[in-house]
Amino acid sequence: MSGRLQGKVAIITGGSRGTGAAIARLFVAEGARVAIADLREEQGRALAAELGGDALFHRCDVASRDDWAALVAAVREHLGEPAVLVNNAALLDIAPIDEVTEESLERLFRVNQLGPILGIQAVLPSMRALGYGSIVNMGSTDGVLAQDMGLIAYASTKFALRGITRTAAMELGRDAIRVNCLVPDSGNIEMSAPFLPEGMDHDELMRQHVEQILKPPPWASGFHRYEEIARMTLFLASDESSGCTGGDFPVDGGYTAGRRFRP
C-alpha cells in the first residue's frame, strides 16, 4: 500500500458491514485514521478492534443532528480533525407506488437524504479549519436510471443525493472542499436480502447482477464489487482527485452506459 490517505482522518457512516466495512479496511491500510459510524454496535466494535488503534467505532443515527455533533466531537478528541466524510449509510424499501407508505418515504428520506446533509454540516467547521476536505456521497444506479421494481422511496432519495452533491460542491468549492457522488450498481447484500425470495443464493444473484454487461477478467474469481467501490472511494477521498468535484463516478460494470437487450 502507498499511504494515499496518510495522516488523514475519515468518517464512514454505515461502516460496520458491506461496502462501508470494505472502505474502512482500505482507508486504514492506506494510512488513514477512521471513525466507523453505525447503529450496529456489535459489528462496528468488532471491525474497529480488527483494524486496531487507527480505527474508532461510534454509535450514530445519521438522521440525528445531536448524534452527528457527538460523533464529530469524539473523532476530534481521539483521532483529529476529519478531512474526509463518506456518507455511506442508507436504507432500502421496496413497494409499488400505489402501496408505498408515508412512514417508508419519511424513514428513507431521513437516512438517505437528510443524513448526508447533516453530516456535511457537522464536518464543515473541521474541514474549513484544515483548509480542505473531501466528501463522498454513496449514490446508486437507482439514482440515475429508473426501474420498474418498486423503488419509488429509495430511488427518490438517491436522485436527490446527486442534487445535494452538486449543490454542495458549488457552495463549498471556495473552501477547497470537494463533494462527489459514487454510483455503484450494488449495495450491501444483507440490505437487499429481506426483499428476495427465500432460499435464493444472494451472493450468486448479486454476482449475476453485476456481471450483466462487463465480464470479469480471467484472474478474478468471486464477488469483488465492494472492493472496487472502496478503491473508487479511496481515489475521491485522496489528493489524487484534487480536480474532481460535483461529479458522478460510476462503479457499475457499464450498467448505466446504455440499454440492455440481452438477458
CATH of the domain at 118: 3.40.50.720
120 grid coordinates = 456535511
Nearest-angstrom CA–CA distance, 249 and 101:
31
Average pLDDT for runs of 10 along the chain of length 263? 90 96 97 98 98 97 98 98 98 95 97 98 98 98 90 96 98 98 81 63 69 77 82 97 97 85 63
199: in domain? yes
- The reported pLDDT for the residue numbered 25 is 97
For residue 33, give its domain range.
9-242
The total number of structural domains in the chain stands at 1
Helix locations, 131-186, DSSP H: 152-172
Going by C-beta distance under 8 Å and a sequence separation of 6 or more, which residues neighbour residue 208? none
The pLDDT value recorded for residue 213 is: 76
Give the three-state DSSP class for 56: strand
Q: Are 56 and 34 in contact (CB under 8 A)?
A: yes
**Grid cell at residue 134:** 473531501
d(CA 235, CA 74): 26
What's residue 208's pLDDT? 72
Copy the grid coordinates of residue 210. Answer: 453485476
d(CA 94, CA 194): 10
Give this prediction's pTM.
0.91
Does residue 130 belong to any structural domain of this protein?
yes
Cα–Cα distance for residue pair 247/31, rounded to 1 Å: 25
Beta-strand pair 84-87/9-13:
parallel
pLDDT value of residue 218 = 78
Whether 233 is covered by a domain: the verdict is yes
DSSP structural state of residue 91: -
The answer to whether 34 and 51 are in contact (CB under 8 A) is yes
Measured over the CA atoms of residue 137, residue 121, residue 146 and residue 108, the dihedral's sign is positive
Among this protein's residues, is 132 annotated catalytic? Answer: no
Given strand 177-184, what is the order of strands in its sheet?
55-59, 33-38, 9-13, 84-87, 133-138, 177-184, 248-251
Catalytic residue among 132, 154, 226, 255: 154
pLDDT reported for residue 163? 98
To 10 degrees, what angle do helices 152-172 and 115-130 make? 20
Q: Identify whether 96 is part of a domain.
A: yes
Maximum CA pair distance of the chain?
Answer: 54
**In 3-state terms, what secondary structure has residue 250?**
strand
pLDDT of residue 196: 59
Q: Are 140 and 158 within 8 A, CB to CB?
A: yes
Decide: 181 and 116 in contact? Cβ < 8 Å: no
